Structure 1
């Protein structure tokens, strides 16, 4: 096989991408070849172009996303291919889609700034879900009081939504054309089929609240579209990015208030835990003192019992002695005979012992 020939290299690259099952960067594809057989970068690009053209008219296509190149089923077949899996993807909640859209179009953005645009507080579960799916990440902290975290999208977000970079996001003008009425009741509007086909997780729906209308949200996003950062490396500059004065102050005040409330709750919980520990220690000490007193009482009862038994035994012996008849008085001859008999008996016992 002549690997320097693009037409022969293209099927090999197709085999790599089919076997991997995930996007492969150009650098990773280079590493799969040894030094002596590695094609030139120009040959690689031509081979990928040939591979992309060979997929025309087929059920799959060659797609370049943020993490590299991958072979994937065409989007128009998604409704039928999805039937291969028993579990159907769940719908995204409206709040999650709005939060994700704001982060994508206004990144880096703080939680307080998202709440200012949406008009309601951001559910912590939404942020947690987006972080767990690795669609967003913390790229720094705003240099304002409270140091609120700033969120931005990740390469995993671009890969999931079939985007090469942030420039591939649809312009807000196109999104406005989707709106059929000046004010759209978002609660009754179906999720777009393209997003529903990609959806595979959701959070619990929030309780109905008064929120900014979809039309107003588009106007807000339209004013934010300029100055979007498209390079992820631009988001890492000493952990902070400067923002305009009014937006920064508004977001800082909200975040500072949230942090203050959280700090107050944490202090209250700590005090409650300390009181509970003190009460528990007091209860343990009381139980210990009670056990010591009980042991002392038991010992006293035992001593009393011993003394009582001894006293009762002495009284019993005295009573038995009182009941025995007095020994009759012996005459001198009987006393001498009895003494002689006892002496003989003692002598016999001594001999037996010897």
Structure 2
């Protein structure tokens, strides 16, 4: 095998990525070769491009995400491939998704600031879930009374959503365009007045429903867009400069 030839190196990189089952950085791939046989960085890049092109027309693709490169099943096949696992994918609540959206677009942000935008308290379990999944981390503490923790997204968050960096997040304007128009449901069809009256008489009082519109959330985010921070290096610099007596920020992202 001629490791200086991208066409020979590409199948070997494919074997590495298939065996690992997760994203691998270029640095990690370099380490898999003895120094004497290690290809030049330019050869690695060309080999990855050869591998990417070889995936055309196949069920999987080469994808670059925040942690590096990985081979993954194409999204078109997900509905069928998902049947391999009996356990259904976990569904996340609207509150959790709104919280992670605010962190992604307004980071670094505190829990109190999230609550100000959403208009409701953030459940402690939501923050706990995001931290446990390593989608968010603490990058510092706001210089206000109580020194609340500031949250930011991680590489694991980017990897999960097939993103290389935060710049690949859709703009707020694009999100609004993607929000589907409400469809007329069968339940929305007009009900005869006498039937509605009977239903109202027999119905039990309903608990108040939280009316948090994702569209209104996007409008709030849009007003903040000028202050967005989308560079992890900036976040790390803030985390590296704690005030005297301040608790140490969270560990660096993985």
TM-score by length of 2: 0.81
Which residue number corresponds to residue 173 of structure 1?
Answer: 173
Deviations 1:230-259 (A, max 9, x none): 332211235389xxxxxxxxxxxxxxxxxx
Distance 2:148 2:115 in 1: 13
Distance 2:168 2:34 in 1: 35
Distance 1:224 1:109 in 2: 12
Distance 2:110 2:69 in 1: 32
Which residue number corresponds to residue 143 of structure 2?
Answer: 143
Distance 1:125 1:228 in 2: 26
Cα 1:4–1:180 change in 2 (3 A) is closer
Of structures 1 and 2, the one scoring higher in RCO (CA 8 A, sep 6+) is 2
Confirm or deny: 8 A CA contact 2:139 2:238 kept in the other structure: no
Cα 1:154–1:80 change in 2 (3 A) is same
From the CA coordinates, give the structure whose radius of gyration is larger. 1
SS across alignment from 1:222: helix
SS across alignment from 1:234: helix
Question: Is 1:51 the equivalent of 2:51?
Answer: yes
Cα offset, 1:209, TM superposition: 4.5
Deviations 1:159-203 (A, max 9, x none): 11111010111111111113345x89xxx9xxxxxxxxxxxxxxx
TM-score by length of 1: 0.59
Distance 1:57 1:228 in 2: 38
Which residue number corresponds to residue 161 of structure 1?
Answer: 161
Distance 1:133 1:92 in 2: 12
Which residue number corresponds to residue 22 of structure 2?
Answer: 22
List alignment gaps of at least 5 residues for structure 2: 188-206, 242-254
Considering fraction of residues, name the structure with more helix. 1
SS across alignment from 1:225: helix
Confirm or deny: 8 A CA contact 1:141 1:240 kept in the other structure: no
Distance 1:58 1:161 in 2: 21
Question: Is 1:76 the equivalent of 2:71?
Answer: no
Which residue number corresponds to residue 198 of structure 2?
Answer: none
Pairwise CA RMSD of aligned residues? 2.1
Confirm or deny: 8 A CA contact 1:63 1:71 kept in the other structure: yes
Distance 1:74 1:238 in 2: 38
Distance 1:92 1:208 in 2: 21
Cα 1:144–1:81 change in 2 (3 A) is same
Which residue number corresponds to residue 214 of structure 1?
Answer: 214
Cα offset, 1:228, TM superposition: 2.8
Question: Is 1:63 the equivalent of 2:63?
Answer: yes
What is the number of equivalent residue pairs in this alignment?
Answer: 220
